[in-house]
């Protein structure tokens, strides 16, 4: 990259201020102004949307203009509302405050993400400087991890945990309020750099530089969210101190909240709620709180030590003192449990919400509880896997590797139980379900890629690459926000008495899942190719991949805005809930306590009749399982025999049809008949194409039809021919691999085309005659 | 109403969102490229200046072959930037003017200032953002077109209502 020296010396007039290099930092584009303006615009948009929706939803008496009395009434109302929200100790109010706060933090941290992704559209650092880019990923990480995720989960917990366990409120309502109100100043301190920078920009328009030195000496922290020593000790930016204080304050808030959750679950449970039937979300919140109780005080201590090193000359993290590695140990001893503090509430929500939308009770309740407890304990024994590239003793590293691999087991137990819960269920394709399914998918990929990183040699290769970014973002932009949003939809009727826009919600859920997959799968791939993370500048050959990832990130951002729009507008304009059981949970005996609370309230407030379902069954009732498409009467043995014989006839027809396609492929030379010989060899005969073709015919007549009969209920498709086509597509995939003999170019295209078309003919030949014969059989029996 | 059209309810809005996302990726940097010369000073590198103590620590045991300058040898812009970087919270400042010693600074140099030596190097080139002329208009078009796609479901429902109303008249 060539850089020509500047031709003039007076280009400083191009800056917003004469001292722009100091005020805004050495920015290409002024980050403070851009981010401040974007956030201000967003705030105006949200407030405008809220008031517009409210205005449209309320009746207007006369000509539509406000009278003086009405304005006075509005001001009084505003005052009383401000007073109420500032002083409330009601757990539901505080829950909403937490959620609102977390949403603000998410938008702020999300704006950082959009800005840094925009920089990555092009290989050079030509929109932001590298330092600004460093600041963006630092503040993005801190804001999202500390001020977005846990506050939102604490909010959901505050609102619903007491309802789920039948408590009147949290154990310590005033402490609860204090715990929340510590967070806003904590966020302001942590992000003070941006506010000061914006303030400096504005003030410098009116005041001389000497009088606003304070505003010119602070800027956003750019040392990475892990605040590694020695950089965090030696860099003079005073904002680092404010950040440390803000983080410390947030840690105090979290600890206070955690104590409250534990006390509430232990002491405030209603009669009849014990450890064996405590709902799974409350279990998870309790374990999360336990982790927070042990982890956050340690973070607080480490932060104070860093503050002392920076300001009072102590040497905790200096080479001549404790050493820089000490910071890494202390930080990650908090940091890895923090991962589970963020993740466990999401799994609790998954285990609570998913069964409601598949009509089955949660599979393996006890094992899920044990896996949660197991994760809680193990999460304190894996921290050094973040330090595999440091100089820690290899024998100690090996033990951390073993535990890091082992911690995958309880996570896998959860995934197994969720999938088993869904298996053969009556799935309702609502937005909460889509998000649950998307969350499981992203978690599987994010989790499995993490197991690889637990292995020391692999971690050493990939530690500094985008692979790590892709891995953990598939969790933190996968199951975590997806379940937050799923919960917001699931409980929206309770919180507001209205429905959200269901179509928009499904659409938004699909967008979020799609965006997360596109963005972070790309990052996994480019990381696997070795692209280093944390760099504003990258080699041009990665540009296309980075651009696709950026577009994916924008889609995530747009989906977040659509969610916000849905929540705000539906609050005023959503359809009113006219039943006490909006999700028809009574039909499957899953009407849990929070809904009972809702029903009682609706009965009390609106004199509604408690909802009664058309039919009631246990959430898992074998007698009501779908009969499948085969139907039939008679003994099991008779049915098996009759179905098998029909399948054999149909299979023969299907194989005959298929042979046409396969034969044509052989004639035109895109399929090598010799590959049939391998089938004969496979079962011990000589490699002979004729024997192979005979076996192929037998398999097509007997084996595959029987397999189809066994599995067809579980294949996608409403009609039997649809499932037949699905089945054929699946076996065609296997066939195309097994019979591939090195075709290239057009021959390969022809080979694949004939293989798939021939199999689809087989699928239709198998299912259509089967249905025809079945219908004849039924008619004969009826006669 | 007849069964909901998946195409108009979900597929077209999805394509719309894709278009908007791609459009943002094109229009925002494309727009920036048009105005960057008015609001920024791109193509002016950032230098980092280390304190005397750090410089001494850095070269405590090694003595690399670096260019050495006396403060007075630097150009006006270099001198100004050097002083700014020394007082900057992160030790960096942007060259705003003539930069004759750029090749030496890129390689890392030692500057003697008030009796102390300071290690100076270029940490960012800050190149101007280069983009095709069509990127901005096409990006804006994609955003607008995508927004229409996103708004398809309510439009589609309105059209159906209209048709149903028309069938009764």
Cβ pair A480, A342 in contact under 8 A: yes
Q: Is A38 on the interface with B (CB under 8 A)?
A: no
Cβ neighbors of A461 (< 8 A, separation 6 or more) are none
B121 membership: H or E segment, kind and range = strand B116-124
Count of all residues that appear for chain A in the document: 783
Asked if the Cβ–Cβ distance from B127 to A234 is below 8 Å, we say no
Pick the closest to residue A355 from A420, A277, A413, A411 (CA basis): A420
d(CA A353, CA A494): 14
Cβ pair A602, A580 in contact under 8 A: yes
Within a 10 A sphere around the Cβ of A603, how many other Cβ atoms?
13
Count of all residues that appear for chain B in the document: 169
Residue-level pLDDT at A24 = 39
- B92-94 and B67-70 strand pairing: unpaired
pLDDT average, residue stretch B33-54: 85
**How far out from the chain centre does Cα A672 lie?**
47
Residue-level pLDDT at B168 = 39
Q: Is A79 helix (H, G, I), strand (E, B) or coil?
A: helix
pLDDT average, residue stretch A397-407: 92
Pick the residue of A2, A4, A5 with the most B CBs within 10 A to test the interface with B by mutation: A5
Q: What is the pTM of this model?
A: 0.76
Residue-level pLDDT at A63 = 58
Pick the residue of A1, A2, A3 with the most B CBs within 10 A to test the interface with B by mutation: A3
pLDDT band per the 50, 70, 90 thresholds, residue A624: very low
Residue A312 in tokens: 């009072």
- B116-124 and B67-70 strand pairing: unpaired
> Which residue on chain B is closest to A133 by alpha carbon?
B124
Asked if the Cβ–Cβ distance from B25 to A554 is below 8 Å, we say yes
Q: Return the biggest CA–CA distance within chain B.
A: 95
Starting from the edge strand earliest in sequence, which strands make up the sheet with B116-124, in order?
B67-70, B109-113, B116-124, B46-49, B92-94
**How far out from the chain centre does Cα A97 lie?**
22
pLDDT band per the 50, 70, 90 thresholds, residue A463: very high
pLDDT band per the 50, 70, 90 thresholds, residue A627: very low
d(CA A146, CA A338): 9
A653-668 pLDDT, tens digit each:
888 888 888 887 888 7
State the nearest Cα–Cα gap between A248 and chain B, in angstroms. 22
Q: Is A543 on the interface with B (CB under 8 A)?
A: no
Q: Is the alpha carbon torsion for A358, A362, A363, A367 positive or negative?
A: positive
- With a pLDDT cut of 90, the percent of chain A lying above it is 58
Provide the mean pLDDT of chain A: 86
Angle between helices A91-119 and B12-39 (to 10 degrees): 60
Residues of chain A with Cβ-Cβ distance to B96 below 8 Å are: 6, 9, 11-12, 21
Please give the C-alpha separations between residue B134 and each of A545, A561, A567, B138, B160, in angstroms, as whole numbers. 21, 28, 37, 6, 38
Asked if the Cβ–Cβ distance from B98 to A5 is below 8 Å, we say yes
d(CA A206, CA B119): 36
**How far out from the chain centre does Cα A128 lie?**
28
B109 membership: H or E segment, kind and range = strand B109-113
Q: What ipTM describes this predicted complex?
A: 0.74
State the nearest Cα–Cα gap between B159 and chain A, in angstroms. 17
Closest Cβ–Cβ partner in B25, B41, B89 for A11: B41
Pick the residue of B22, B126, B151, B152 with the most A CBs within 10 A to test the interface with A by mutation: B126
pLDDT band per the 50, 70, 90 thresholds, residue A13: very low
C-alpha distance across the termini of chain A, in Å: 87
Residue-level pLDDT at A216 = 76
Residue-level pLDDT at A20 = 38
* Higher pLDDT among residues A311 and A636, named by residue: A311
Closest Cβ–Cβ partner in B25, B36, B153 for A547: B25
d(CA A491, CA A560): 18
Closest Cβ–Cβ partner in B25, B29, B92 for A131: B92
State the nearest Cα–Cα gap between A110 and chain B, in angstroms. 15
pLDDT at residue A697 greater than cutoff 60: yes
Cβ neighbors of A56 (< 8 A, separation 6 or more) are A572, A573
Q: Is A95 helix (H, G, I), strand (E, B) or coil?
A: helix
The ranges assigned to domains in chain B are 8-38+131-168, 44-124
Residue-level pLDDT at A637 = 63
Residue B109 bridge partners (DSSP): B67, B120
pLDDT at residue A481 greater than cutoff 60: yes
Asked if the Cβ–Cβ distance from A122 to B88 is below 8 Å, we say no
**Long-range contacts at B114-118 (CB < 8 A, ≥ 24 apart):** B114/B71, B116/B52, B116/B55, B117/B52, B117/B55, B117/B56, B117/B68, B118/B49, B118/B50, B118/B51, B118/B52, B118/B55, B118/B82, B118/B86
> Which residue on chain B is closest to A30 by alpha carbon?
B40
pLDDT at residue A710 greater than cutoff 50: yes
A333-373 pLDDT, tens digit each:
999 999 999 999 999 999 999 999 998 889 888 889 999 99
Residue-level pLDDT at A695 = 83
Closest Cβ–Cβ partner in A3, A22, A234 for B45: A3
d(CA A24, CA B90): 12
State the nearest Cα–Cα gap between A347 and chain B, in angstroms. 28
Asked if the Cβ–Cβ distance from A26 to B92 is below 8 Å, we say yes
pLDDT band per the 50, 70, 90 thresholds, residue A6: very low
Residues of chain A with Cβ-Cβ distance to B16 below 8 Å are: none
Closest Cβ–Cβ partner in B28, B36, B90 for A118: B28
Cβ pair B85, B92 in contact under 8 A: yes
A728-774 pLDDT, tens digit each:
888 898 888 888 888 887 678 778 877 887 887 898 788 878 877 77
Q: Is A1 on the interface with B (CB under 8 A)?
A: yes
Residue-level pLDDT at A372 = 93
Q: Is A547 on the interface with B (CB under 8 A)?
A: yes
Q: Is A555 on the interface with B (CB under 8 A)?
A: yes
d(CA A288, CA A161): 13
Q: Is the alpha carbon torsion for A177, A183, A185, A188 positive or negative?
A: negative
> Which residue on chain A is closest to B27 by alpha carbon?
A118
Quick one: DSSP state of residue A355? G
Residues of chain A with Cβ-Cβ distance to B98 below 8 Å are: 5-6, 9
d(CA A331, CA A341): 15
Asked if the Cβ–Cβ distance from B125 to A3 is below 8 Å, we say yes
* Higher pLDDT among residues A87 and A196, named by residue: A87
Residue-level pLDDT at B3 = 60
Closest Cβ–Cβ partner in B38, B89, B102 for A217: B89
Closest Cβ–Cβ partner in A6, A29, A218 for B44: A6
pLDDT at residue B1 greater than cutoff 60: no
pLDDT average, residue stretch A33-47: 89
* Higher pLDDT among residues B169 and A389, named by residue: A389
Residue A108 in tokens: 């702020």
Pick the closest to residue A249 from A194, A176, A181 (CA basis): A181
- With a pLDDT cut of 70, the percent of chain A lying above it is 91
Residue-level pLDDT at A620 = 52
State the nearest Cα–Cα gap between B37 and chain A, in angstroms. 8
State the nearest Cα–Cα gap between B161 and chain A, in angstroms. 18
Q: Is B87 exposed, middle or buried (0-12, 13-18, 19+ CB in 10 A)?
A: middle
pLDDT average, residue stretch A621-631: 42
pLDDT average, residue stretch B135-153: 88
State the nearest Cα–Cα gap between B118 and chain A, in angstroms. 16
Asked if the Cβ–Cβ distance from A118 to B17 is below 8 Å, we say no
pLDDT at residue A276 greater than cutoff 90: no
d(CA A453, CA A449): 7
pLDDT average, residue stretch A437-458: 94
Asked if the Cβ–Cβ distance from B29 to A238 is below 8 Å, we say no
Least confident of A62-71, A178-187, A286-295: A62-71
d(CA A519, CA A113): 12
> Which residue on chain A is closest to B151 by alpha carbon?
A504
pLDDT average, residue stretch A533-562: 95
State the nearest Cα–Cα gap between A616 and chain B, in angstroms. 28
> Which residue on chain B is closest to A3 by alpha carbon?
B43
């Amino acid at each position: 990259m060539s850089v020509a020296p500047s031709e003039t010396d007076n280009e400083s007039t191009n800056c917003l201020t004469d001292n722009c290099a100091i005020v805004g930092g050495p920015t290409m584009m002024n980050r403070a102004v851009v981010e401040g303006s974007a956030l201000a615009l967003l705030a105006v948009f949200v407030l405008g949307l809220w008031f517009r929706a409210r205005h449209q939803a309320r009746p207007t008496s006369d000509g539509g203009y406000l009278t003086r009395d009405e304005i006075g009434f509005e001001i009084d109302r505003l005052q009383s509302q401000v007073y109420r929200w500032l002083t409330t100790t009601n757990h539901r109010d505080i829950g909403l405050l937490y959620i609102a706060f977390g949403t603000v933090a998410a938008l702020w941290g999300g704006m950082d993400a959009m800005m840094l992704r925009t920089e990555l559209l092009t290989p050079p650092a030509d929109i932001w400087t590298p330092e600004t880019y460093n600041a963006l990923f630092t503040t993005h990480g801190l804001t999202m991890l500390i001020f977005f995720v846990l506050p939102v989960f604490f909010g959901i917990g505050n609102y619903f945990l007491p309802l789920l366990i039948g408590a009147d409120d949290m154990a310590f309502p005033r402490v609860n309020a204090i715990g929340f109100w510590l967070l806003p100043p904590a966020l302001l301190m942590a992000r003070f750099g941006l506010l000061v920078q914006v303030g400096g920009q504005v003030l410098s328009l009116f005041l001389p530089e000497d009088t606003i030195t304070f505003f010119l000496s602070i800027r956003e922290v750019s040392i990475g969210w892990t605040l590694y020593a020695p950089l965090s000790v030696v860099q003079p930016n005073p904002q680092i101190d404010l950040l440390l204080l803000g983080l410390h304050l947030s840690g105090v808030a979290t600890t206070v909240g955690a104590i409250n959750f534990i006390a509430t679950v232990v002491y405030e449970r209603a009669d009849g709620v014990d450890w064996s039937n405590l709902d799974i979300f409350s279990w998870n919140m309790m374990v999360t709180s336990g982790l927070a109780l042990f982890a956050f005080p340690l973070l607080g201590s480490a932060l104070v030590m860093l503050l002392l090193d920076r300001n009072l000359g102590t040497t905790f993290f200096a080479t001549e003192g404790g050493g820089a590695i000490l910071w890494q140990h202390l930080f990650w001893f908090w940091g890895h449990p923090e991962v589970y503090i963020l993740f466990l509430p999401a799994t609790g929500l998954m285990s609570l919400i998913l069964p409601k939308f598949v009509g089955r009770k949660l599979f393996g309740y006890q094992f899920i509880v044990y896996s949660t407890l197991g994760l809680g304990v193990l999460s304190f024994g894996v921290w050094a896997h973040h330090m595999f590239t440091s100089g820690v003793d290899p024998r100690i590293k090996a033990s951390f590797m073993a535990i890091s691999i082992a911690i995958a087991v309880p996570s896998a137990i959860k995934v197994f139980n969720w999938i088993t819960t869904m298996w053969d269920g009556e799935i309702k394709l609502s937005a909460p379900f889509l998000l649950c399914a998307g969350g499981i998918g992203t978690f599987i990929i994010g989790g499995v890629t993490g197991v690889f990183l637990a292995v020391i040699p692999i971690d050493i290769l990939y530690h500094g690459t985008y692979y790590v970014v892709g891995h953990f973002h598939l969790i933190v932009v996968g199951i975590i926000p997806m379940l937050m949003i799923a919960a917001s939809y699931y409980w929206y009727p309770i919180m507001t008495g209205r429905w959200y826009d269901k179509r928009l919600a499904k659409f938004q859920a699909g967008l979020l899942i799609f965006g997360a997959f596109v963005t972070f799968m790309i990052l996994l791939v480019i990381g696997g190719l070795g692209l280093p993370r944390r760099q504003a500048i990258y080699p041009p050959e990665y540009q296309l991949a980075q651009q696709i990832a950026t577009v994916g990130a924008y889609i995530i951002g747009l989906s977040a805005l659509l969610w916000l729009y849905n929540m705000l507008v539906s609050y005023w304009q959503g359809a009113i809930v006219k039943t006490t059981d909006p999700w028809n949970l009574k039909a499957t005996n899953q009407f849990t306590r929070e809904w009972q609370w809702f029903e009682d309230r609706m009965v009390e407030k609106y004199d509604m009749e408690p909802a009664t379902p058309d039919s009631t069954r246990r959430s898992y009732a074998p007698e009501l399982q779908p009969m499948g498409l085969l139907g039939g009467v008679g003994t099991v043995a008779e049915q098996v025999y009759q179905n098998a014989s029909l399948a054999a006839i149909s299979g023969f027809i299907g194989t005959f049809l298929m042979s046409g396609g396969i034969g044509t492929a052989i004639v035109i030379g895109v399929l090598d008949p010799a590959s049939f010989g391998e089938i004969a060899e496979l079962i011990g005969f000589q490699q002979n194409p004729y024997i192979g073709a005979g076996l192929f015919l037998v398999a097509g007549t007997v084996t595959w039809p029987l397999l189809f009969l066994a599995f067809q209920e579980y294949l996608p498709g409403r009609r039997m021919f649809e499932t037949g086509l699905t089945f054929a597509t699946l076996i065609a995939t296997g066939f195309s691999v097994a019979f591939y003999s090195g075709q290239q170019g057009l021959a390969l295209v022809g080979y694949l085309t004939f293989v798939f078309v021939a199999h689809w003919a087989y699928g239709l030949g198998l299912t259509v005659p089967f249905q025809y014969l079945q219908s004849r059989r039924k008619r004969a029996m009826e006669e | 109403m007849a069964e909901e059209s998946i195409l108009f309810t979900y597929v077209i809005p999805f394509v719309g969102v894709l278009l908007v996302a791609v459009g943002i990726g094109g229009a925002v940097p494309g727009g920036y490229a048009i105005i960057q010369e008015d609001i920024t000073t791109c193509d002016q590198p950032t230098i980092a200046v280390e304190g005397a103590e750090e410089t001494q620590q850095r070269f405590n045991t090694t003595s690399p072959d670096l260019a050495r300058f006396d403060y007075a040898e630097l150009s006006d812009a270099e001198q100004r930037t050097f002083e700014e970087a020394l007082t900057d919270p992160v030790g960096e400042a942007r060259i705003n003017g003539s930069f004759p010693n750029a090749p030496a600074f890129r390689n890392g140099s030692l500057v003697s200032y008030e009796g102390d030596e300071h290690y100076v190097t270029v940490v960012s080139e800050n190149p101007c953002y280069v983009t095709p002329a069509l990127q901005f208009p096409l990006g804006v078009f994609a955003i607008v077109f995508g927004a229409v796609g996103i708004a398809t479901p309510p439009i589609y429902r309105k059209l159906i209502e209209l048709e149903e109303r028309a069938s009764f008249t």
